[in-house]
Chain A
Amino acid sequence: MGTVILLTLTGLGLAALYFLVASGLSLVFGLADVLNFAHGLFLGVGAYATWWAAANLPGAGSDGFGFVLAVVFGVAAGTLVAVLVELVLIRPLYSRTIEQVLVTVGLSLAGVALLQATWGADARPFPRPDWTRQVTGILGAQVPNGGLLLIIAAVLVLGALLAFLRWTRYGLVIRAGVENREMVTALGIDVRKAFTLVFAIGGAAAALAGALGGVYFGTVSPGQGGSLLIFAFIVVVIGGMGSVVGSAYAAVAVGLLQQFVNYYGPSGLGDVCVVGLLAVVLLLRPQGIAGKVATA
């Protein structure tokens, strides 16, 4: 029983990480039709900026309020990079899908190379509060606090995103834009502002994933964003493009499947099963769990 609880909660921790990356990716694709392969870069920037801030930013550190400040700095850095990428690189290329893919793939490769050139290719120990290294006993299972932190953060982000989409003017514009972007402009709304906003939201969530992923894994490395991005894309496709709730369901399915199969089966089989799940969803429900609707 303890093993099942442990696998479930660590699986949910992994799902939380996938959700944080996938939610922004999904909104960006759903609204702006941009397949953003550079999304992993935002995660990398968030992780490295948090790592850097913990050691160098006055007031920041690896524990207590100092750690919170370091994470805030990391999230702000990821958000800023995401906004700059949208404004400078993506905006001139809307409706030019091939060029967008080339630019975002190139940017993701250049971003990893830049991180490697600056801080080296090796993984570095991530500054994290002592309590995140400890475990909490839940129904007989000793669950790592880092994973629980990720779950709590993902639930808060999900709630905040849904409240934003449901109750704010820009949330309404994004929900409408995911359905029919052209009609939003035909109502006199400059939908490009919403594009920038979803990039900022996606960048912030991915950067938070980078910072908390560093806590979860204990290290930060230049390629971390890229490897998580692959599963985030799978989550987006399974969940349905443009659906935050769909991404949450899909992230839970992928995280749990991976964790259980990798534990009870040969190592690596969980990843294969995730691809199998993707294939099944594409065959039976090509639009994903929740289709192309921004809230449900």
Chain B
Amino acid sequence: MTEPILNVEDLSVRISGLHILQGVSFTVAPTGVTVLLGRNGVGKTTTLRAIVGLTPPAGEVRGTIRMGAQSLLARPTHRLVRGGLGYVPEDRCVFAGLTVAENLRLAERRGVSPAYDKVFALFPELDRRGRQRAGSLSGGQQQMLAIGRVLLNDNRLLLVDEPTKGLAPKVVTEVAEVLERVAESVPVLLVEQNLAVVRRLARDAVVLAAGKVAWTGDAQELLLETALTRSLLGVGSGESQHPAEPGRAAAGKDGH
């Protein structure tokens, strides 16, 4: 059996007195997409942020996180990222006041040739909109920028947090296609609420419930078990976890 690229053991995170993660353990395979699932507020984003060292200073993190043989805990975020841990945050977090080109240039590293060819091949629109302020891009374009920014450098593992949130269905498909292509060359730990995207991309799944791991295994098997997905995620396997989310209704306009 191949060694996992990421090994999380007994991870606990406490922030402002709240015990958000309580002894979470899971692994991420060295290839393909591993999806982190769970209802809202169970600690999915907290898990990704703990891995990349972005737990708030007032927070307390315990446990072990290893990428290959390297321990990640207590290392500053910028070093983890330079070590090959790419992070695409929830809500994109592009720099709205900077242009698209400046957002990309920010991700360049001294002595490393940035992979603009690869990024522009995946997202030709970023090349055309280089001088446009990122804040004036649509939600879908901002998501492409957020992903493109990370892909400028080589990564050993990508952490991607809800990349399709608030996007129009057509853009969701485009983002899923890109992640599928990206996952051919680099493993991805994905937080995703859209089960159609999960079905398309994910090989392995980790389900969190109340700050603990409730289920791990084959993602496709999980999605076939309607009763299981309903009990773990609160929805049937054919639905999104937040079908009534207001942003989705308006996403057709915003998202493209």
Least distance between A167 CB and chain B CB atoms (Å): 11
Cβ contact within 8 Å between A293 and B97: yes
Least distance between B97 CB and chain A CB atoms (Å): 5
| Chain A residues with CB under 8 A of B93 | 180, 182-183, 186
User: Whole-angstrom distance between the alpha carbons of A96 and B57 in the complex?
Assistant: 9
| Chain B residues with CB under 8 A of A294 | 97
Cβ contact within 8 Å between A180 and B95: yes
A188 lies within 8 A of chain B by Cβ: yes
Most buried by A among B77, B82, B89, B153: B77
B81 lies within 8 A of chain A by Cβ: yes
A136 lies within 8 A of chain B by Cβ: no
User: Whole-angstrom distance between the alpha carbons of A216 and B141 in the complex?
Assistant: 52
Contact mask B155-180 → A, CB, 8 Å, 1/0?
00000000000000000000000000
Cβ contact within 8 Å between A186 and B106: no
Cβ contact within 8 Å between B57 and A95: yes
Cβ contact within 8 Å between B105 and A172: yes
B250 lies within 8 A of chain A by Cβ: no
Cβ contact within 8 Å between B89 and A183: yes
User: Whole-angstrom distance between the alpha carbons of A179 and B96 in the complex?
Assistant: 8
A88 lies within 8 A of chain B by Cβ: no
| Chain A residues with CB under 8 A of B98 | 172, 175-176, 179
Assuming the A-B contacts A183-B89, A183-B95, are A190 and B76 also in contact, with contact meaning beta carbons closer than 8 angstroms in the complex?
yes
Contact mask B92-130 → A, CB, 8 Å, 1/0?
010111100011011101000000000000000000000
- Per DSSP, chain B at the interface is loop
Least distance between A242 CB and chain B CB atoms (Å): 10
Cβ contact within 8 Å between A189 and B106: yes
A220 lies within 8 A of chain B by Cβ: no
| Chain B residues with CB under 8 A of A189 | 78, 106
A187 lies within 8 A of chain B by Cβ: yes
Q: Which of A176, A186, A295 makes the CB contact (< 8 A) with B87?
A: A186
User: Whole-angstrom distance between the alpha carbons of A182 and B49 in the complex?
Assistant: 11
Cβ contact within 8 Å between A188 and B97: no
User: Whole-angstrom distance between the alpha carbons of A293 and B150 in the complex?
Assistant: 23
Assuming the A-B contacts A172-B106, A188-B109, are A179 and B97 also in contact, with contact meaning beta carbons closer than 8 angstroms in the complex?
yes
A296 lies within 8 A of chain B by Cβ: yes
B54 lies within 8 A of chain A by Cβ: yes
Cβ contact within 8 Å between A176 and B78: no
Cβ contact within 8 Å between B57 and A186: no
| Chain A residues with CB under 8 A of B89 | 183, 186
Cβ contact within 8 Å between A187 and B149: yes
User: Whole-angstrom distance between the alpha carbons of A176 and B108 in the complex?
Assistant: 14
Cβ contact within 8 Å between A187 and B107: yes
Least distance between B47 CB and chain A CB atoms (Å): 15
Cβ contact within 8 Å between A190 and B78: yes
Contact mask A149-193 → B, CB, 8 Å, 1/0?
000000000000000000000001101100110111111111100
| Chain A residues with CB under 8 A of B107 | 187-188
Contact mask B211-242 → A, CB, 8 Å, 1/0?
00000000000000000000000000000000
User: Whole-angstrom distance between the alpha carbons of A180 and B52 in the complex?
Assistant: 16
List the 9 shortest-distance A-B pairs measured between CB atoms, nearest first. A188-B81, A95-B57, A185-B77, A188-B82, A183-B93, A293-B97, A176-B95, A190-B78, A185-B78
Residues of B within 8 A of A (CB): 52, 54, 56-58, 76-78, 81-82, 87, 89, 93, 95-98, 102-103, 105-107, 109, 149-150, 153
Given contacts A173-B106, A186-B93, 14 further A-B contacts (CB under 8 A): A95-B56, A95-B58, A176-B95, A180-B93, A180-B95, A185-B54, A185-B77, A185-B78, A187-B149, A188-B78, A188-B82, A188-B109, A294-B97, A295-B97
